[in-house]
Structure 1
Amino acid sequence: MSEAHILIVEDEESYRDTLKYLLSREGFTVSTADTGTRGVEVFEREGADLVLLDLMLPGMSGTEVFRTIRERSDVPIIMVTAKDEQVDKIIGLELGADDYVTKPYSGRELVARVRSVLRRSAAAYDALSDEPERVTVAGITIDPERLTIVRDGETTSLPPKEFGLLLLLAQNAGRVLPRQMIIDRVWGADYYGDTKTLDVHIKRLRARIEANPHKPQLIQTVRGVGYTLEPPA
């Protein structure tokens, strides 16, 4: 984990330099960008194992950067902002951020959060790797080795967390899975972020596999409990 690559997208030089120093001292490889546009360019060129993303950026906002990266990758993202207003926390977490930190923050706390998010991400990937057998449900073949699904002869790659959600639901087709159980299995038992991120990932998954995501036929919400994958009769 110490060799993980961290991308910092932060327009304030003092914060950016401090973060780079702290994380480099901990053994991480660190790249930086001072604008949202440059952040996307660096991510597309170099990739990253985790992104520290300031919400308030000039030009291309942190929200836009988040959505752009999410279209390409399921890389863990920690949102960072100077504001401590509830609306900003809601924005960050409803986007599907893995964690949320407000300025000023302690260096020790931030490093601990980075390590925790990376640990959860690695655990989720390992959990998928431990399931080598393909699963077929509702005409969808799920391949854990390749993180792909095959439907109507078409192969589609999924980001790890969306894939983990689909695999878990498919392995338990017809059963209602409680929200907390899903979070524990896909995000890890030590996940302490907002549970709304689960709803965000379910929404993305429905957009990929449902004929009409607004009227889902496969992934059903059980109000007050969780979700279930109901194969067509």
Structure 2
Amino acid sequence: MYNILVIEDDEKIADMLSAAIAKYDFAVQVVEDFRLVLECFLAVKPDLVLLDVNLPKFDGFYWCRQIRAQSTCPIIFISARDSQMDQVMALENGADDYITKPFDIEIVIAKIRSQLRRAYGAYAAGQEQERTVTSAGIVLYPERFVVSCQGNSIELTQKEAALLEVLMLKEGRVVSRERLLDLMWEDQHFIDDNTLNVYITRVRRKLKDIGIGDRIETVRGAGYRLIPELEELP
């Protein structure tokens, strides 16, 4: 049974979410002391987090960063703040998805299930050897969300790993924005135009952190491609 942690200071919304989620056979924990959000997260060890932006003491962006420093578990924001900037900030701080209030609980459940499939579905095979993807001098461990190069490694979020995997598998070839969105998100209708740009920026930054130059090329009007290792960087 997957365990969901709800970080929401509106008691009515928190109770509604926890009751609805429990009906779908998930275990649910709700944070009660907003001074101890990280401590609660570490104690509960949830498989997925639902996180509000407006919280006492520190906002959801702060707690998202704290959680992301400890774990790659899926983080979905649920907030009444519906501006494009808020959604971009959530993604920049490590979130995997963003739902605006008022929301349809069926959409929340669908997004929870989608994120859990992407995060943990690969382990259903049990004893299979860990899968790796190697391209352009980069080694990706898509089941652990880790990328490495020449002994240096860094953790990715689920969607960062999914994005990089697609580009690595298509090394040297352009992958359209539409194709990337189709592969990374099952419900494109809810994705802001800037979302993919944010993820590309984050992956580029993380590759740079482990000593890899900017191998992700933007092909204007077409999409993105991973520059082959032997091809000269611009």
2:105 counterpart of 1:110: yes
2:50 counterpart of 1:55: no
Deviates more, 1:222-231 or 1:72-81: 72-81
* Runs (5+) with no aligned partner, structure 1: none
CA apart distance, 1:208? 2.0
Q: Which of 53, 57, 66 is residue 68 of structure 1 equivalent to?
A: 66
Compute the TM-score of the two structures, normalised by the length of structure 2: 0.78
Counterpart contact for 1:79–1:99, Cα < 8 Å: yes
Deviation string, structure 1 residues 23-59 (Cα, Å, up to 9, x no partner) = 2233221011145543322222222232221111111
2:181 counterpart of 1:183: yes
2:97 counterpart of 1:98: yes
Counterpart-to-counterpart distance in 2, 1:50 and 1:165: 20
Counterpart contact for 2:3–2:28, Cα < 8 Å: yes
Tell me how many residue pairs correspond in the alignment. 226
C-alpha change, 1:86 and 1:175, in structure 2 (3 Å) is closer
Amino acid in the other structure paired with 1:112: I
Q: Which of 67, 75, 78 is residue 76 of structure 2 equivalent to?
A: 78
Counterpart contact for 2:181–2:188, Cα < 8 Å: no
Q: Secondary structure at the match of 2:9?
A: coil
Q: Secondary structure at the match of 1:72?
A: coil
Map of 1:218 onto structure 2: 215
Counterpart contact for 1:121–1:187, Cα < 8 Å: no
Map of 1:172 onto structure 2: 170
Amino acid in the other structure paired with 2:11: E
Counterpart contact for 1:132–1:145, Cα < 8 Å: yes
Runs of 4+ in 1 over 6 A off after TM superposition: 127-132
Deviation string, structure 1 residues 149-194 (Cα, Å, up to 9, x no partner) = 3321334443332222222111111111111211222333667332
Counterpart-to-counterpart distance in 2, 1:209 and 1:92: 20
Counterpart-to-counterpart distance in 1, 2:166 and 2:31: 36
* Runs (5+) with no aligned partner, structure 2: none
CA apart distance, 1:65? 1.3
Counterpart contact for 2:87–2:98, Cα < 8 Å: no
Compute the TM-score of the two structures, normalised by the length of structure 1: 0.78
Q: Secondary structure at the match of 1:11?
A: coil
CA apart distance, 1:83? 4.3
